[in-house]
């Protein structure tokens, strides 16, 4: 194994988040540092994609803020993530659902997976 990989493995803190994939609606509790103060901001939206593996894995979340779509790319192993909650499991047929960007209103809804 490469020396760089060993150092990365020691530095990165592996956290156990709930299982989620594209199409799921999740809430990410994200720490924001403003000067001396720290606060936790909730970011709730639909997962558009999960990318890469292991240490470099990221996921993209999209939410509508008024009439403006807001996307955020978050590393899975980020120390700024306090907690991840899965609100709904979505039923989609693709791993990357970028077509949601063009849709508005009721068309942009994702069906919920039935158990």
pLDDT digits (tens, 9 = 90+) for 14-41: 778 899 999 999 999 999 999 999 999 9
In this prediction, residues 72-89 reach a mean pLDDT of 92
Sequence spans of domains, the chain: 13-105
CATH classification for the domain delimited by 13-105, as one of 3.30.2130.10, 2.30.30.790, 3.40.50.970, 3.40.50.2300: 2.30.30.790
In this prediction, residues 93-106 reach a mean pLDDT of 91
Confidence of residue 1 (pLDDT cuts 50, 70, 90): low
Which residue has tokens 């594209």?
22
Q: Which of 47, 53, 39, 49 is nearest to 86 (CA)?
A: 47
Q: Is 37 exposed, middle or buried (0-12, 13-18, 19+ CB in 10 A)?
A: exposed
Q: Which of 38, 60, 40 is nearest to 49 (CA)?
A: 60
Q: Residues 29-76: pLDDT tens digits?
A: 999 999 999 999 999 999 999 998 877 889 999 999 888 999 999 999
Measure the CA–CA gap between 60 and 53, rounded to whole angstroms.
14
Confidence of residue 9 (pLDDT cuts 50, 70, 90): confident
pTM: 0.82
């Amino acid at each position: 194994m490469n020396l760089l990989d060993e150092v990365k493995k020691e530095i990165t803190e592996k956290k156990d988040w709930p299982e989620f994939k594209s199409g799921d609606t999740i809430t990410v509790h994200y720490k924001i540092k403003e000067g001396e103060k720290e606060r936790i901001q909730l970011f709730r939206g639909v997962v558009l994609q999960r990318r890469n593996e292991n240490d470099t894995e990221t996921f993209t979340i999209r939410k509508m803020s008024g009439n403006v779509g807001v996307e955020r790319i978050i590393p899975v192993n980020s120390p700024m993530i306090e907690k991840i909650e899965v609100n709904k499991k979505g039923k989609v047929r693709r791993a990357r659902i970028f077509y949601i960007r063009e849709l508005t209103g009721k068309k942009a809804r994702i069906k919920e997976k039935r158990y």
